[in-house]
Amino acid sequence: MTAGTAGAAHTQRIREFKMPDVGEGLTEAEILKWYVKAGDTVADGQVVCEVETAKAAVELPIPYDGVVHALHFDEGTTVDVGTVIIAVDTDPGAGPVGEAPGEAAAPAEEDDAEPQGRQAVLVGYGAAPSSTKRRARKQQPGVPAQSEPVTAGLQAELNGHSAPAPAATPVAVPVAPAAPAAVVPAAERPLAKPPVRKLAKDLGIDLATVVPTGPGGVVTRDDVYAAAAPAETAVPAAPEVAVPTAVAPVAAFDAARERRVPVKGVRKATAQAMVASAFTAPHVTEFITVDVTRTMKLVQELKQDPDLAGLRVNPLLLVAKAFLVAIKRHPEVNAAWDEATQEIVYKDYVNLGIAAATPRGLLVPNIKDAGAKTLPQLATELGELVATAREGKTSPAAMSGGTVTITNVGVFGVDTGTPILNPGESAILAVGAIKLQPWVHKGKVKPRHVTTLALSFDHRLIDGELGSKLLADIAAILERPKRLITWG
């Protein structure tokens, strides 16, 4: 068997599984838990790990039969889509896995070899191997080669951990003319993290022209800003590097009693979405306080209804139904703003989002075609939606395509609030706590169940008159729930 044949057999035997894009173009995911370890036998379709994306926690099945050869990342590590996370020996009966002949003799040739095309991953296709595997950097004269600890430190920084201290590496004295080795190919891709690449693109800076100052020759944000600065300001910018050292001690008030948690996963996605929504859609919030005593009585009656036996019946169910009936009376509110085409998209369906507080952060899954469902169907889906969200098992598809949302702040004893729109939606209704309060009823002051509703809407889509009518109709239905029949 030739060296090339042996190498091909070795490659076919060890199959590598890359982090897939589990939905909506996500770029990274955190490995929450491994269900297997090196040496375990796995089968095609077996779940090997659980990962958390910016949307939800997802279990990943392996598409191979064999024995786990290696796990490339520990639990808690954030990994880019397209990066190999696990290797499987698909022919364990062939004996121990060794280094393929010819690999040690020509490492440079392997690094420069063209990839054999894209490999299919679980959901779609990850990045091409050439984009996830860095070519070895050519050593320049007088510059020591990067050691393994430096590479490990760089990887640790990408994963949000502290980089280990690099070991001292002696400078190799070249014995041959170094001029050819110092030539860097024009096509070599500069090293930089994705946010830095985006910054450079936004500023119109070619990374190949930027002088890197980060560890291992990585281009940093400061490097990009320095390259973008006018020529006359580029020179005095160098002394500013020493400024952080002087002010570092006052950066934290009491570091011994503070802790820092990396922003990632659902929390990171929520923060980005809320900022984008707050500063893109012009919000208007209106409030109304309403007597919901009749609605509370109807809730108690429905709990005894055989048609709803086993279903979770609560005030939120009737609030959701009231919201849907009010939207049916004012269908213009169910719309979206298309910035790219400068069009308003009116929707003939309602995907009702329900904001759910979970251990991983705020999730907003939605009930598809909620406006077409009966009350028992709505109760069933509402119960399943909340239960799934609290378990952290909500799929990305369940959180996409929402049109309007309800957030129930009343469960925390809060009277009301000014909710922020879920991006891409036209309205969000906040339901406050339902409390016994003195209320004028039929000319007399009596204790009644009262709550305050708050409706935020996108003023580009919904004028004040339309938003006011929508909120007034919701309140009117909750005050006299028989309108669910006469208006529905």
For the residues of 109-137, what is the DSSP string, one character each?
HHHHSPP--PPB-SSSB---HHHHSPPPP
Residues 214 and 270 in one domain: no
Best mean pLDDT range from 338-342, 350-354, 357-361: 350-354
Cα–Cα dist 318/298, whole Å: 9
Residue 304 located in a structural domain: yes
Is the four-CA dihedral 49, 50, 52, 53 of positive or negative sign?
positive
Strand, coil or helix: 482: coil
Is the pLDDT at 310 greater than 80? The verdict is yes
Inter-helix orientation angle 315-329/464-479, to 10°: 140
d(CA 333, CA 429): 13
Query: How large is the average pLDDT for residues 29-40?
Result: 89
Q: Are residues 256 and 280 in the same domain?
A: no
Instruction: State the CATH number of the domain containing residue 121.
Output: 2.40.50.100
pLDDT above 70 as % of the chain: 72
336 and 195 within one domain: no
3-state helix, strand and coil shares in percent for the chain, rounded to the nearest 5: 35, 20, 40
The arithmetic mean of pLDDT across residues 49-76, rounded, is 86
446 in the same domain as 298: yes
In a domain, 182, yes or no: no
Each residue's pLDDT tens digit, 67-88: 999 999 998 888 888 899 999 9
pLDDT at 112: 43
459 is annotated as an active-site residue? yes
Question: Are the beta carbons of 397 and 405 closer than 8 angstroms?
Answer: no
Decide if 395 contacts 56 (C-beta within 8 A).
yes
Residue 144 lies in a domain: no
At 254 the pLDDT is 76
Task: Indicate whether 146 belongs to any domain.
Answer: no
Please tell me the predicted confidence (pLDDT) of residue 315: 96
What proportion of the chain, given as a percentage, has pLDDT over 90?
41
Residue 373 has pLDDT above 90, yes or no: yes
Pair (32, 66) in one structural domain: yes
Q: What is the pLDDT of residue 213?
A: 86
- The rounded radius of gyration (Å) of the Cα atoms in the chain is 29
Last residue of a domain, one of 240, 260, 280: 260
Is residue 163 one of the residues assigned to a domain?
Answer: no
**Mean per-residue pLDDT for 49-71?**
85
Q: What is the pLDDT of residue 125?
A: 36
C-alpha torsion angle, residues 4, 132, 99, 151 (rounded to 10) = 140
Stretch 450-475: mean pLDDT: 96
Report whether pLDDT(114) > 50: no
Query: Which residues sit opposite 363 in a β-bridge?
Result: 356
263-302: per-residue pLDDT in tens?
A: 777 667 777 777 878 878 889 999 999 999 999 999 999 9
Structural domains of the chain, count:
3
Mean pLDDT of 224-252: 54
Report the chain's mean pLDDT, rounded to a whole number: 78
Residue 2, pLDDT score: 53
* Beta bridge pairs of residue 159: none
Higher pLDDT, 258 or 372: 372
Q: Looking at the structure, tell me whether residues 255 and 378 fall in a common domain.
A: no
Q: Do 296 and 413 reside in the same domain of the chain? A: yes
337 with 221, same domain? no
Q: What pLDDT, on a 0 to 100 scale, did the predictor assign at position 235?
A: 44
Query: What are 457's two structure tokens?
Result: 């809407």
How many CA within 13 A on the CB side of residue 225? 7
Residues 407-454 have pLDDT tens digits of: 999 999 999 999 999 889 999 999 999 999 999 999 999 999 999 999
**Among 260, 282, 309, where does a domain finish?**
260
Beta-carbon contacts of residue 459 (< 8 Å; ≥ 6 apart): 281, 282, 283, 284
Please state, in angstroms and rounded to a whole number, the distance separating the CA atoms of residues 46 and 37. Answer: 13
Q: 392 and 287 share a domain?
A: yes
Of 198, 233, 260, which residue is a domain's last? 260
Alpha-helical (H) ranges within 229-292 are 231-234, 243-247, 265-278
Tokens of 388: 């799934």
Task: Give a yes or no: residue 354 inside a domain.
Answer: yes
Same domain, 9 and 124: yes
User: Cβ(158)–Cβ(193) under 8 Å?
Assistant: yes
Q: Which residues of 129-142 are buried (b: 16+ CB within 10 A; e: fewer)?
A: beebeeeeeebeee
CATH number at residue 286: 3.30.559.10
Q: Mind listing the pLDDT tens digit for each residue in 377-411? A: 999 999 999 888 888 788 888 888 999 999 999 99
CATH number of the domain bearing residue 203? 4.10.320.10
343 and 228 in one domain?
A: no
Selected catalytic residue, list 10, 69, 330, 459: 459
- What are the pLDDT digits (tens) for 144-188? 444 444 444 445 444 445 445 444 444 444 444 444 433 444 446
Residues 209 and 282 in one domain: no
**Which residue range(s) make up the domain with 224?**
190-260
| Structure confidence at residue 361 (pLDDT) | 76
Residue 135 lies in a domain: no
Query: What is the CB neighbour count within 10 angstroms for residue 284?
Result: 17
What one-letter code names the amino acid at 198? K
pLDDT at 25: 59
CA distance 442 to 483: 20
Closest CA to 130 of 201, 60, 188, 216: 188
Selection from 50-59, 132-141, 436-445 with the highest mean pLDDT: 436-445
Residue 141 lies in a domain: no
pLDDT at 100 over 70: no
pLDDT score at 182: 39
What's the pLDDT score for residue 172?
47
Res 302: pLDDT: 95
How far is the C-alpha of 447 from the C-alpha of 363, rounded, in Å?
A: 36
Residue 381, H or E segment: helix 375-390
User: Do 453 and 466 meet the contact criterion of CB atoms below 8 Å apart?
Assistant: no
Nearest alpha-carbon partner for 460 in 339, 282, 317, 329: 282
When mean pLDDT is compared over 58-67, 100-109, 311-320, the highest value belongs to 311-320
Q: Is the pLDDT of residue 456 over 90?
A: yes
Spatial distance between the Cα atoms of 9 and 90, rounded to a whole number of angstroms: 11
